[in-house]
Amino acid sequence: MTTPSSRDLLVVENLDKAFTLHLHGGARLAVIANASFAVARGECVVLGGASGVGKSSILKMVFGNYGADRGAIRLAAGGGFLDIAKASPREIVDARRRIMGYVSQFLRVIPRVSAIDIVASAARDAGFEAAAAQARAASLLARLNLPERLWSLPPATFSGGEQQRVNIARGFAGEHDLLILDEPTASLDAANREAVVDLIREQRAKGAGFLAIFHDEDVRTLVADRVIDVSSFSHREAA
């Protein structure tokens, strides 16, 4: 085990993950073996490898949605490191509020809430005052080219691309130290992909780190400092 340095934002060591499917005769599905990598402050690390190789599983373990069978996920927190693999639910809830954000492939929200409130509420959760949260939400939605007439409407009736821009705005709203992106640009056109690239670069310049999956070759080339081939950690490739 290496000691994380002050430049490290995230240090993942010897991570294993398997699923036991009790409804299918207890079949064991090994997904990740011995994954080790780090993300420094201001760095954008992209996970690469074919579909089904376990990229999303790694993101979900880092965010705490999946448990880890073995290994450590050290997240820089308040001068020290919090091991997400062993952290209590309360510690993870707190880390998600203050330190790490997540942008999934699809927007999942309560049906009735307006787009701007979804984004502003994410900013408030991360500690912004109400007025500042509202301003940040408006600025993000504008940068992502969401027409202003949509801001006060709930996103349920928006197009896939519009919903995804609300989702991205929500992810960036909290100005977290670490942002986890799971194919955020898949449903966007070129102009909006560019807006996302700008946002990533801007946050990176402020010292934020990114752990991301991008299938889009252009975006990847524009933002990735490093690409890690997840198939080298994958059980399925080795089997």
Chain contacts with another protein (rule: CB under 8 A): 19-23, 60, 64-67, 89-90, 92-93, 110-113, 121, 124-125
Q: From the DSSP assignment, how many helices (H) and strands (E) are in the chain? A: 8, 9
> In sequence order, what are the residues at sequence separation of 6 or more whose Cβ sits closer than 8 angstroms to the Cβ of residue 53?
230, 231, 234, 236, 237
Return the structure tokens found at 114: 């307006």
Consecutive H or E run containing 217: helix 217-223
Q: How far apart are the C-alpha atoms of 161 and 152, rounded to whole Å?
A: 17
* CB 129, min distance to another protein, A: 13
Type of residue at 173: A
Judged by beta carbon, residue 121 or residue 192, the one nearer another protein is: 121
Which of 182, 58, 197, 188 shows the shortest CA–CA distance to 108? 182
State the nearest-atom distance from the C-beta of 29 to another protein, in Å.
12
Nearer to another protein, 49 or 64 (CB): 64
Which CB, 67 or 207, lies closer to another protein?
67
**Judged by CB, which is closer to another protein: 43, or 183?**
183
Report the nearest approach of another protein to the CB of residue 22 (Å): 4
Minimum CB separation of residue 224 from another protein in Å reads 27
Q: DSSP for 17-48? A: EEEEEGGGTTEEEEEEEEEEEEEETT-EEEEE
- Judged by beta carbon, residue 91 or residue 225, the one nearer another protein is 91
Closest CB to another protein among 38 and 116? 116
Return the number of the residue (130 or 238) whose C-beta is nearest another protein.
130
Residue 121 vs residues 107, 196, 208, 218: alpha-carbon distances, Å: 14, 20, 21, 31
Instruction: Read off φ and ψ for residue 182, nearest 5 degrees.
Output: -110, 90
* Nearest alpha-carbon partner for 92 in 130, 119, 65: 65
Min. distance of Cβ 23 from another protein in angstroms?
A: 6
Relative orientation angle of helices 130-143 and 160-173, to the nearest 10 degrees: 140
**Beta carbon of residue 97, minimum distance to another protein (angstroms, whole number):** 10
Give the nearest distance from C-beta 3 to another protein in angstroms: 26
